[in-house]
Amino acid sequence: MFNPLSGLGDLQKLQQQAQKMQAALQQEQVVVEKNGVKVTLRGDQVIESIEVDGIVENRIAEAVNEAVKKTQELAARKLIEISSQQGK
């Protein structure tokens, strides 16, 4: 007999792995300096800081982080929308 809930264990395992990966990426940093601009970015793609000619410009970092978050929310909504349409 087919058990439709049998995949939940695998789903939980994948979710736990994703959470571990997210936590690990938050601990990593990438720093890029180019043309007087220095960007410090966490491994999970969150901008920690932006410096322009030695001046910290975290207003720019905050705006970019907010824009990225909005695109992630948009992508999640589209994924849900597409998934619900395929089920019909």
Entry pTM:
0.66
Q: Does the residue 18 lie in any domain?
A: no
Q: What is the 3-state secondary structure (H, E, C) of 26-77?
A: HHCEEEEEECCEEEEEECCCCEEEEEECCEECHHHHHHHHHHHHHHHHHHHH
Residue by residue, pLDDT tens for the chain (88 residues) are 555 555 566 778 888 888 898 888 899 999 999 999 999 999 988 999 999 999 999 999 999 999 999 999 999 899 888 888 876 6
8 A C-beta contact, residue 39 and residue 31: yes
Q: Does the residue 76 lie in any domain?
A: yes
Domain holding 78, by residue range, is: 28-86
Q: Domain total for the chain?
A: 1
| Total length of the chain | 88
In terms of Cα–Cα distance, which of 32, 35, 36, 34 is closest to 48? 32
Q: Does the residue 51 lie in any domain?
A: yes
Q: Does the residue 70 lie in any domain?
A: yes
Q: Does the residue 9 lie in any domain?
A: no
Q: Does the residue 15 lie in any domain?
A: no
Give the number of other Cβ atoms within 10 Å of residue 79's Cβ.
Answer: 10
Q: Does the residue 23 lie in any domain?
A: no
In terms of Cα–Cα distance, which of 77, 34, 78, 38 is closest to 55? 38
